[in-house]
Amino acid sequence: MTTSIAIVCGSFHKNEIERMLAWAQDEASRHGLEIAEVVWVPGAMEVPLALDRLLSLEGIAGAACLGVIEKGQTQHGLAMGQAVIKSVIELQLVHEKPVGLGIIGPGAEPQHIEPRLEPHARAAIAAIASML
């Protein structure tokens, strides 16, 4: 029996996240995991709600979050990123299901994004596999 997981993808950096999703799918197959659900959200702010809904599903054993939170001109991205990550951790504990964090940032600058896409996507899935 295959273990099913889900992925929440932030669409603000859609081209980059589509590439991350492909690496996540490859990594999932390496670990014998099936990605049963992929949900696209506008940005990091919407990740916790989508994640909560997915983790509530009986057939979903865990989930990954893929996205980018860039460094902006204000502290908005940092504050939002900290709130999102705190919520992700809380949801993992409430649902007692592993969540792989494949969110680059907060505070990512353009030159930081490209080299982190594949490693973050793969690490998010590997973390779920390890915790299952």
66-116: per-residue pLDDT in tens? Answer: 999 988 778 878 888 899 999 999 999 999 999 999 999 888 888 999 999
Where residue 25 sits, what CATH number does that domain have? 3.40.50.960
Tell me the C-alpha distance between 21 and 12, whole Å.
Answer: 14
Domain count along the chain: 1
Q: Are 104 and 69 in contact (CB under 8 A)?
A: yes
Interhelix angle for 110-131 vs 14-30, to 10°? 30
Mean pLDDT of the chain: 94
Provide the pLDDT for residue 54.
98
Active site residue 76: yes
- CB-count burial class (<10 Å; 0-12, 13-18, 19+) for 76: exposed
**Number of CB atoms found within 10 A of residue 77's CB:** 19
Catalytic residue among 13, 31, 76, 112: 76
Report which residue type is found at 34. E
pTM of the predicted structure, to 2 decimals: 0.94
Residue 98's domain spans which residues? 3-131
Residue 117 has pLDDT above 90, yes or no: yes
Buried b (16+ CB within 10 A) or exposed e, 40-60: bbeebbbbbebbbebbeeeeb
